[in-house]
């Protein structure tokens, strides 16, 4: 009586192969879309992609620069992943990242040259975590106890953090501003003793620390009692209450943890490659890119690491494209396309789409899904 061209039905459990394939296909499709765009604007897409790959992975210097770019993305990616998994919509990683950088640079400058590295480096890194968590708490506490919408508050606090940082450097003679070049506002360098040492070209140990922190986040969520409670809360707050789990406390914990990870991205960046509260190096949307990283990693903190490296490579290739007369914004476009395809791909992980079976006379019925 009724025929349908396609049947969409939810999958019970998607295979591991499929969950791996979908993000990869998303990246490929984004490259295809980018290729069409490049071809239409009179470029040879193949040449452009080769140039990008060569810039980011073609030399040991290229690889180290890629990993430097990936380092903050790992942490902002984890920040978004842990929050989103628990249905905490913290889209303020950008602001928490910047406040982490402000705290880290502030402590580094305050400590001065006299503090031994073994003390200064960990303190500066931790200061970033505190800064990020503090900035997140401004959204988290009202959300948990008063029910405010964290999407709005975290988003707005991003701009406050950005303007606050700009004020410290451009708008005032704060301790963060370098007094040696008053005619050219820039961040005051933190002492060498607070800088994370390099081990591979310009790459510093911050990358290793970020990767370990991503694994730690995974461990906390999947292997600890706290993580189990968090998973229950993220799945069903009513069930959590029923099982005697304090829901507000878990929400608060996850929110602050998310902020702390974004803040760590800031402190590792400041104590690593940047070395100062330098708005030109920090205001790159690394917190927002973290959201793309988390989505493509399907909110798995460990999968965030390779995805962040991919995104880092793209970021790294941007300036190189300008040398061959192609706008660096091509990279942003590719990242956006990847996000769109990755999100669309979620549909295919969750659902199966197939043609209805033909129903021969007397044979069992065709199966179909509710279109209600």
Partner 1 sequence: MADHADTLAVEFRNIDKAFYGVKANDNVNFELRRGEVHALLGENGAGKSTLCSILAGLYRPDAGEFLYEGKPTVFKTPKDALAAGVGMVYQHFRLVSNLTVAENLALGHPKLGIRISQSELEEEARQLGDEYGLPVDPSARVWQLSVGEQQRVEILKLLYRNAKVLILDEPTAVLTPQEAQQLFKTMRQMAEEGRSVIFVSHKLHEVKQVSDRVTVLRQGTTVGGADTADAEPRDLARMMVGRDLELPTRDENLDIGGPMLTVDSLRVDGDRGLEAVRGVTFEVNAGEVLGICGVSGNGQRELAYGLVGLRIPTSGTVHLDGEDVTNLTVADRIDKGFAYVPQSRLGMGLAPGLTTEDNLGLKAYRKPPYSNGPMLAAGVFKEKGGQWITEYDIRGVRPGLPIRLLSGGNLQKALLAREVELQPKALIARSPTRGLDVGATEAVRNLVLAERAKGTAVLLISEDLDELLALSDRVLVLYEGQVAGRMPADEATPERLGLLMAGQKEEAI
10 binds partner 1 (CB under 8 A): yes
Q: Which stretch binds partner 1 (CB under 8 A): 2-10, 29-37, 138-146, 269-277?
A: 2-10
Asked if 233 contacts 89 with a C-beta cutoff of 8 angstroms, the reply is no
**Residue 216 CB, nearest distance to partner 1 (Å)?**
13
Site size for partner 1 (CB under 8 A): 34
Residue 356 DSSP class: P
231 binds partner 1 (CB under 8 A): yes
**Residue 117 CB, nearest distance to partner 1 (Å)?**
31
2 binds partner 1 (CB under 8 A): yes
Q: What are phi and psi of 367, to 5 degrees?
A: -95, 150
Choose which of 36, 47, 163, 223 interacts with partner 1 (CB under 8 A): 223
Rounded distance between C-alpha atoms, residue 107 and residue 194, angstroms: 9
Q: Which is nearer to partner 1, 21 or 208 (CB)?
A: 21
Asked if 60 contacts 195 with a C-beta cutoff of 8 angstroms, the reply is no
**Residue 234 CB, nearest distance to partner 1 (Å)?**
8
Asked if 3 contacts 356 with a C-beta cutoff of 8 angstroms, the reply is yes
Please name the residue that has the structure tokens 């021969």. Answer: 360
Rounded distance between C-alpha atoms, residue 237 and residue 295, angstroms: 23
Element (H, E) at 351: strand 351-354
245 binds partner 1 (CB under 8 A): yes
Q: Which stretch binds partner 1 (CB under 8 A): 171-179, 236-244, 325-333, 339-347?
A: 236-244
Q: Which is nearer to partner 1, 61 or 354 (CB)?
A: 354
Q: Which is nearer to partner 1, 192 or 367 (CB)?
A: 367
- Pairing outcome for strands 351-354 and 203-204: unpaired
Choose which of 88, 214, 240, 313 interacts with partner 1 (CB under 8 A): 240
Tokens read off for 150:
């964290």
**Residue 233 CB, nearest distance to partner 1 (Å)?**
9
**Residue 213 CB, nearest distance to partner 1 (Å)?**
18
Rounded distance between C-alpha atoms, residue 165 and residue 153, angstroms: 18
Q: Which stretch binds partner 1 (CB under 8 A): 120-128, 146-154, 198-206, 241-249?
A: 241-249
Q: Which residues contact 95 (CB under 8 A, 6 or more apart)?
A: 135, 154, 157, 158, 159, 160, 161, 162, 287
Report the candidate in 300, 304, 305 with the shortest Cα–Cα distance to residue 349.
300
244 binds partner 1 (CB under 8 A): yes
322 binds partner 1 (CB under 8 A): no
Query: Is the alpha carbon torsion for 53, 59, 64, 65 positive or negative?
Result: negative
What's the N-to-C CA distance of the chain in angstroms? 18
Choose which of 18, 226, 285, 346 interacts with partner 1 (CB under 8 A): 226
Choose which of 232, 292, 303, 304 interacts with partner 1 (CB under 8 A): 232
- Pairing outcome for strands 7-10 and 351-354: antiparallel
Rounded distance between C-alpha atoms, residue 333 and residue 37, angstroms: 10
13 binds partner 1 (CB under 8 A): yes
Per-residue x/- marks for partner 1, 342-371, CB under 8 A? Answer: --------------x--x-----xxxxxxx
Choose which of 239, 319, 322, 343 interacts with partner 1 (CB under 8 A): 239
**Residue 164 CB, nearest distance to partner 1 (Å)?**
36
Give the three-class secondary structure for 283: coil
Q: What are phi and psi of 350, to 5 degrees?
A: -80, -30
113 binds partner 1 (CB under 8 A): no
Choose which of 45, 142, 185, 227 interacts with partner 1 (CB under 8 A): 227
Burial class of residue 224 (count of CB atoms within 10 Å of its CB; 0-12, 13-18, 19+): exposed
12 binds partner 1 (CB under 8 A): yes
Q: Which is nearer to partner 1, 180 or 365 (CB)?
A: 365
Tokens read off for 5:
């061209």
Q: Which residues bind partner 1 (CB under 8 A)?
A: 1-2, 9-10, 12-13, 223-228, 231-232, 235-236, 238-245, 356, 359, 365-372
């Amino acid at each position: 009586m009724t025929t349908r061209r396609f049947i969409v039905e939810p999958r019970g459990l998607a295979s591991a192969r499929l969950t791996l394939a979908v993000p990869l296909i998303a990246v490929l499709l984004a490259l295809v879309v980018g290729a069409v765009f490049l071809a239409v604007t009179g470029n040879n897409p193949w040449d452009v992609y080769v140039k990008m790959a060569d810039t980011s992975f073609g030399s040991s210097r290229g690889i180290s620069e890629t990993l430097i770019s990936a380092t903050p993305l790992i942490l902002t990616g984890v920040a978004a992943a842990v929050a989103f998994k628990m249905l905490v919509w913290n889209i303020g990683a950008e602001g928490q990242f910047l406040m982490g950088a402000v705290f880290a640079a502030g402590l580094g400058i305050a400590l001065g040259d006299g503090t031994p590295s073994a003390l200064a480096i960990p303190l500066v890194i931790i200061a970033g975590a505190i800064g990020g968590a503090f900035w997140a708490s401004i959204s988290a506490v009202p959300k948990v106890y008063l029910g405010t919408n964290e999407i709005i508050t975290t988003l707005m606090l991003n701009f406050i953090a950005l303007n606050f940082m700009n004020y410290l450097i451009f708008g005032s003679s704060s301790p963060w501003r370098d007094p040696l070049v008053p005619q050219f506002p820039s961040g005051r360098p933190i002492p060498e003793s607070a800088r994370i040492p390099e081990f591979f070209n310009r790459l510093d140990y911050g990358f290793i620390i970020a990767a370990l922190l991503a694994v730690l986040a995974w461990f906390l969520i999947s292997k600890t009692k706290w993580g189990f409670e968090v998973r229950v809360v993220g799945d069903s707050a009513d069930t959590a209450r029923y099982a005697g789990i304090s829901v507000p406390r878990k929400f608060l914990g996850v929110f602050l943890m998310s902020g702390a990870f974004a803040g760590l991205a800031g402190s590792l960046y400041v104590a690593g490659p940047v070395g100062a509260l330098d708005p030109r190096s920090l205001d790159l949307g690394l917190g927002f890119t973290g959201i793309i990283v988390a989505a493509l990693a399907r909110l798995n903190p460990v999968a965030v690491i390779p995805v962040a490296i991919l995104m880092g490579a793209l970021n790294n290739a941007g300036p190189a494209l300008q040398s061959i007369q192609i706008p660096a914004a091509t990279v942003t476009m590719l990242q956006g396309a990847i996000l769109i395809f990755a999100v669309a791909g979620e549909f295919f992980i969750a659902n199966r789409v197939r043609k209805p079976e033909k129903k021969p006379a007397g044979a069992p019925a065709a199966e179909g899904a509710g279109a209600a």
